[in-house]
Amino acid sequence: MSLYTYSLLSIVGINIMLAVSLNMITGFCGQFSLGHGAFYGAGAYAAALCAVAGYPVPVALIAGAVVAGILGFVVGFASVRLREDFLAVTTIGVSFLFVGFVRKQHWLGAEMGISKIPGSGLGAEGNAVMILLFAAATIAFSLYLNRSWLGFAFRAVGDDEQAARTVAIPASSYKLLAFALGTAIAGLAGGLYTYFTQFIVPDSFGFILSVTLMAMVVIGGTGSTWGVVAATIILTLLPEVFRFINDYRLLIFGGLLVLVTRFAPGGLAGIVNSLTRRLRRA
């Protein structure tokens, strides 16, 4: 395969990790977060600093996941009592704060970012394989989580927080855990992105990215792992296959988001489930 194909596979894998991890927060636990790009960026910068300092790849990736997870825990703790639109506004603020903070820090490269980051030593093919393996592990973990007692607790909190509290489910603790898990995986994806590009800038982790990830989750079907994976692959490859729509990417994503929210609230997963039920009845 060509270098372009390996790069495309790497981007698909990273986006899958980001969208699936956001789905754990929004789809499973009902927390509407629009700042996922900030946690992705925190992981990327942490991994970049470790790589530049000469630490091995596993250490840099773990550092990215830990830093993003801690940041997610702090943000989650600060907003654990917020709901829906108030939580969304708070996470939007986190996204802008992160980009603004990084732009002013010379030790993080400021506007110019961090360049000449040492590679993983695996080459384009090795990077793509590593990223896809991590993406597969993220999908497997999400599927397991969805069927575990922890996943049931997340869904109980997401469906009705007050009802969950009445059956002795500590809603605040589970919301914090979901936020920390989802943001840690986003940080891990940021570390992989660092080794993939070997160059990072603040604008790569801005609000537009967070909105795009939320679109992937909603279009795929909040709470559905396979639906989110399918939507992520489609929305990542669509601008690449049809180059003429690349300049209208945000317009198309926004239009799809409006159509899905209005006519198919369950997303792709809901459409597939509805068709399956009709075929069984037929």
Sorted by sequence, the CB contacts under 8 Å of residue 254 that are 6+ apart come out as 215
Which helix (DSSP H) or strand (DSSP E) does residue 169 occupy? none
* Closest CA relative to residue 46, chosen from 192, 179, 182: 192
pLDDT in tens, 98-108: 999 999 888 88
* Closest CA relative to residue 38, chosen from 209, 180, 188: 209
Average pLDDT, rounded, for the chain: 88
- Extract the tokens encoding 138: 């993220």
Residue bearing tokens 């589970």 = 174
Q: How confident is the model at residue 244 (pLDDT cuts 50, 70, 90)?
A: low
Tell me the whole-structure pTM to 2 decimals: 0.92
Q: How far apart (Å, rounded) are the C-alpha atoms in residues 244 and 263? A: 27
pLDDT in tens, 196-223: 999 999 989 988 899 899 999 999 988 8
Q: How far apart (Å, rounded) are the C-alpha atoms in residues 214 and 219? A: 8
Q: What are the DSSP E strand ranges found in 145-280?
A: none
- Extract the tokens encoding 139: 């999908």
pLDDT in tens, 112-168: 889 889 988 888 899 999 999 999 999 999 999 988 988 888 888 887 777 777 877
Give the model's pLDDT for residue 24.
93
Angle at 205 between CA 202 and CA 210, to 5 degrees: 155
| DSSP label of 244 | G
* Closest CA relative to residue 217, chosen from 9, 17, 8: 17
Q: How confident is the model at residue 45 (pLDDT cuts 50, 70, 90)?
A: very high
Q: How far apart (Å, rounded) are the C-alpha atoms in residues 64 and 117? A: 15
Q: How far apart (Å, rounded) are the C-alpha atoms in residues 197 and 151? A: 34
**Please, what's the largest Cα pairwise distance for the chain?**
65
Which residues are registered as beta bridge partners of 200? Answer: 114
* Closest CA relative to residue 25, chosen from 126, 157, 195, 123: 157
